[in-house]
């Protein structure tokens, strides 16, 4: 996702928030810095469920580009908060693909 954001940094004004503190956190922070995304990408670390829901309510898009999620309830939570949802093909999130929406 960060690589894609690096390609549009000069074309679109955006804020991208990463919530969680998994084993790739340091690598993602280094990538964001290398791609010049520090002003656009914000790493929040682990947050409680209520805080995550509040972030979703304020967001336009929820993105979970994971090939390790069989099906996460988090996709449904994001939809319920009014977010457009982006997932990946061949994973459980593809099963809720509505109205011909495209998962990449």
Distances (CA, A) of 91 to 3, 52, 70, 71, 97: 21, 22, 6, 7, 11
8 and 27 share a domain?
yes
Number of domains in the chain: 2
pLDDT, position 91: 60
Tell me the pTM: 0.79
Q: Which domain holds residue 69?
A: 56-104
CB 71 within 8 A of CB 92: yes
Q: Is residue 51 part of a domain?
A: no
pLDDT, position 74: 84
Tell me the average pLDDT across 54-69: 87
3 and 38 share a domain?
yes
42 and 73 share a domain?
no
pLDDT, tens digit, for every residue of 13-24? Answer: 999 999 999 899
35 and 72 share a domain?
no
pLDDT, position 100: 54
């Amino acid at each position: 996702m960060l690589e894609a954001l690096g390609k549009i940094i000069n074309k679109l004004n955006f804020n991208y928030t990463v919530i969680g503190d998994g084993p790739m956190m340091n690598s993602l922070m280094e990538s964001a810095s290398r791609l010049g995304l520090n002003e656009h990408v914000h790493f929040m670390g682990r947050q409680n469920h209520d805080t995550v829901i509040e972030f979703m309510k304020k967001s336009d898009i929820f993105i979970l580009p994971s090939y390790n999620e069989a099906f996460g309830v988090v996709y449904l939570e994001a939809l319920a908060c009014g977010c457009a949802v982006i997932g990946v093909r061949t994973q459980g999130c593809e099963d809720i693909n509505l109205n011909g929406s495209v998962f990449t």
